[in-house]
Amino acid sequence: MFNSFSSKISDIFDKLRRKGILSESDVDAALREIRIALLEADVSLEVARKFIANVKEKAIGQDIVKSVSPGQMVTKIVYDHLVELLGTSAEINLSQKPYKIMLVGLQGAGKTTTAGKLAKFFTKKGKKIVTASTDVHRPAAIEQLRVLSNNIPGTIFPQSQEEKRLSPDEIARLALKTTERENADLLILDTAGRLHIDEVKMDELMQTHRIIDPDEIILVVDIMTGQDAINIAKKFAESVAVSGIILTRVDADARGGVALSMRYITGCPIRFLGVGEQLDDIEFFDPDRIAGRLLGMGDIVSLVEKAQENFSLKDAEETAKKMQEGIFTLDDMVTQMERMSQMGGLKSLMKMLPQSRQLEDIMEMQGVSDKTMNRNIAIIRSMTKKEKNNYKILNGSRRKRIAKGSGTSVQEVNRLIKQYESTMGMFKKIKKLGGLGKIISIMGK
Ligand SMILES: Nc1nc2c(ncn2[C@@H]2O[C@H](COP(=O)(O)OP(=O)(O)OP(=O)(O)O)[C@@H](O)[C@H]2O)c(=O)[nH]1
Ligand SMILES: [Mg+2]
């Protein structure tokens, strides 16, 4: 999401920052460009106007023209306003037991998938879940939820053929009973999709609502519906007490304007983003991080979290120690590379770093890519233990054998060894300079 908007906006800021001294007309011109970028990203006109007006007011108030680094100051003001526009973060807090969440939305918005995602998300947090579907209009829907949630412990409801013949009201009642009987922490209720917001269906929804008395009504909205998504959300929020929004298909949307306008227009916080069809493809919606990503400032927090899932702190400390002491073997190198691929590969990690576009260009120029990383992994795997622990014994015939074994070429094997040597060289230099900690402390001064 936001790729095209983000690249436009970081270009605007790059230009501003390069200028050093800014005149008022420079700032005006930048704001005009930002306004266009917002509109192109499908932000509603009302929101774009208001946004620019707010930024301008703040910018004039702070006298940025006279400040030391005006470009940075404008970036900061825009960042703060983006965070404000996106709203404060609002995690779903299971504040009581059982906590009851009802998912509503138009047909095909992603409710059933989201029900499965939420079930997995909270199961991972050690919560006991009951998931149920009142979608009796589409017989396959209940089955879909069952298949989706197959690997998640928790009752899927309705289960038997008789139960499947129940009315939405009866299912809702049974689901509630089951939740209480099982002493579950959370009930996730998936409902039937509405084709439009019509009264009959809304009545059915209200009826289910009365039975369940949910703690949260989450509106699931497909971001690809563009401006319509906002109108739909607004109408829904007017007829039922929507407490939060989950945007889906965010992975397929390069513009992201809907996410920017949603909070402002509906007044409802965005809770999560659906970023794919798999159950793990759900992200907590964090305004700070998204605003950072939008301005090309990277998403270090996501990166750290991702890394934490794959690396333990102990591992990281061990690696750092090995590197500093110069005993980082080829075996250690392959472990690092494998972990990087588990984290979604270089490309997805890169996207989260500041200046990622420039970094990507550099990597491309140097021929660093996921493909080469995978080939490097294959090369190291084709080495014997002895070779991995002491690369110096890798003579011509050994290199030839490794190339053959890994389906690569001798040149590639040579390149990898060179790369390893230069990494080791770098670490030795770091050690000579007093270790990483020392260097960082010098740089910080
Ligand atoms: N790419 C992508 N696809 C998604 C996402 N969420 C859901 N989908 C897909 O969208 C389609 C519809 O999702 P469902 O979960 O069945 O939608 P629904 O709202 O339950 O649909 P109805 O029950 O018919 O109203 C499925 O093919 C999902 O795999 C997402 O975040 N990203
Ligand atoms: Mg469904």
* All domains of the chain in start order, with CATH: 3-86 (1.20.120.140), 99-295 (3.40.50.300), 303-443 (1.10.260.30)
Q: How many whole angstroms from 222 Cα to the centroid of ligand 1?
A: 8
Percent of the chain with pLDDT over 90: 24
Helix (H) or strand (E) holding 238: helix 227-239
Pairing of strands 270-274, 282-284: antiparallel
CA-nearest residue for atom 7, ligand 1, is 110
Helix (H) or strand (E) holding 272: strand 270-274
pLDDT digits (tens, 9 = 90+) for 104-161: 998 889 999 999 999 989 998 889 999 988 887 776 777 777 777 776 777 776 667 7
- Residue 263 beta carbon below 6 angstroms from any ligand 1 atom: no
| Dist. CA 403–CA 241, nearest whole Å | 63
| Dist. CA 243–CA 250, nearest whole Å | 20
This prediction has a pTM of 0.69
- Residue 167 beta carbon below 6 angstroms from any ligand 1 atom: no
Helix (H) or strand (E) holding 9: helix 3-19
| Dist. CA 395–CA 187, nearest whole Å | 63
For residue 208, the 8-state DSSP code is H
pLDDT digits (tens, 9 = 90+) for 334-344: 777 777 676 66
Which has the minimum average pLDDT: 167-176, 256-265, 318-327, 375-384?
318-327
Please choose, from the candidates 261, 102, 278, the residue with its C-alpha nearest in 3D space to the C-alpha of residue 186.
102
Q: How many whole angstroms from 16 Cα to the centroid of ligand 1?
A: 41
Hey, is 247 helix, strand or coil?
A: strand
Q: How many whole angstroms from 344 Cα to the centroid of ligand 2?
A: 28
| Dist. CA 171–CA 204, nearest whole Å | 13
Write the DSSP assignment of 382-436 as a string of letters.
TS-HHHHH-GGG--HHHHHHHHHHHT--HHHHHHHHHHHHHHHHHHHHHHHTTHH
Residues 351-377: what's their mean pLDDT? 65
Residue type, 128: K
pLDDT digits (tens, 9 = 90+) for 371-402: 778 888 899 999 998 998 888 999 999 999 99
